[in-house]
Structure 1
């Protein structure tokens, strides 16, 4: 451990990856996946599908490989994909980014987030406001950028932020308000009043809004509303998304950033020293995907909504209380009624008790707030229906 750089050691320690004795610990996802492999349990812990994406997208990748698209693509991404991203933003949201200056292709949304925070945050005097629980990379990336993480709690069962707590968290020290909507891990979709307040606070305190919208097409009610579409927001907002969740191609790692050219240029200046470029044959394939007809996008949301309902019904029948998600892959359940006192311990025991793997919501929270989420567990619905039905049958043993 003495050979780990100070910045990385602080980041890893803050993310719970390094113990007080200096030992490196696996992430909760690696731990639970290992449990699934050891026990033969159904893995509803990690958020990746067990079905392939649309045939046209997969075939386009094969064609790109066969035609020689196997070397470095342009640093901003191939023109066809940047044009497809711009057209997607125009088609769904009436946003009009210039594909030559306002769009950057990245190695998935996580690299986009990393490059964005490293580009925009100047050091320990800067604060990044996030909603908690939060995607586990956020805390590590903020720490790596040298900034201070400020969290706004989302509470069971609706996981909507309190607007007064949000206003108290944002100050003149706030450099970035990081918004994940639809939200991982809770599955909530923020109310219109929350989005409006984020824009108001960003304007008041001259903060940049960074949005993580990877579940934008996996919402179960009204169409997703990007913050960049709100009055006064576009000039201070970087919107991040990716292909992995929409097209069930999480292993391809094709993401993007859109927004004002000067902010995108700042992200590119960092991105070129992270992955440089990425996914040459996958880029034209995702360009094909973004151009699929409306039926595909509606069908993807409808299919996942059905899976959400299958999983939710199974959890309720097993005795869990369930927060019905409005979007994303995930459902959060309260395991207190089936004997949980500590969600982490419950999830470690669940593969042996019921043959199912889940993830404690405390994996997505700071240590000082873990008691608020002590019995809450996240399950992933992005599996085949027959797998979810079998998981429900197994979980019924808990009832």
Structure 2
């Protein structure tokens, strides 16, 4: 009978398994060579048979490697940019089309859409298409702003933006949309703080939009955000709801004032040119009368001088001519009847009212 060296004697002393079963039989330790052999047998089950174990293993590894390398092909769609990473670090940006890069886990490719226009609403939430159509919810902490004349204005506006540089957009900003929103809101408050309430509500709305867009773009470029601002557009510009009634009263009073001023300007523009024209007409008539009076006086003086010179040359002739001219002027204005005594007629009355008869005949003719 064989003895178990670890049994402790024939009576099973010491925990051994003697002939009387004095204790449990201990488990022998695992054999390393058996473990290796069984592992090799399991591995060989997956290796193709008939062509040799080593060669089949190489072929299997080559096939796996080929499939892995084939996963490196990727396509960038129109409107996208491909951003290639190696071990998580940016390498380059690729254009749309079929490209190749190291497969995972060595390489990785991100393809953000750089032509899609994104929009952010500031001052309100909800609406259809990003506008104020439909149900909206006002956000006073964003919409209430202070103008340069210490007035409060309630502004809702829309910011539209696109990706300008995919690499900067992906790696320089943790939350691009929030960054764009905060930058636009800050820029809008700065521009509005330099604009009066009246200008913000009327004549400078487009200028406020343009200045906000330029300032926001400068802020984002300073961050290296890779974002292009497309448009900034105000959707609603009103005084706060608590004072809008009083503000409307002020606006109506200003409109009445402007209407009165415009009516006064219209009256002035009508009466002043007419008064100036009348004054110019009187001046022209005065100048013409003066010119006529001066010319007449000069003519009379020259005529008198010529008569005086002629008188000095021939006094008798000049006196006779002056007498005849004067008599012609006097007789031309008097009523006279001339009777020729050479006719030899008799019975002619000494006086006939010929002028009166002539006037009476003229009156009858007019009737």
Common topology (TM > 0.5): no
| TM-score normalised by L of structure 2 | 0.18
TM-score normalised over the length of structure 1: 0.17
User: Normalized per residue, which structure has more helix?
Assistant: 2
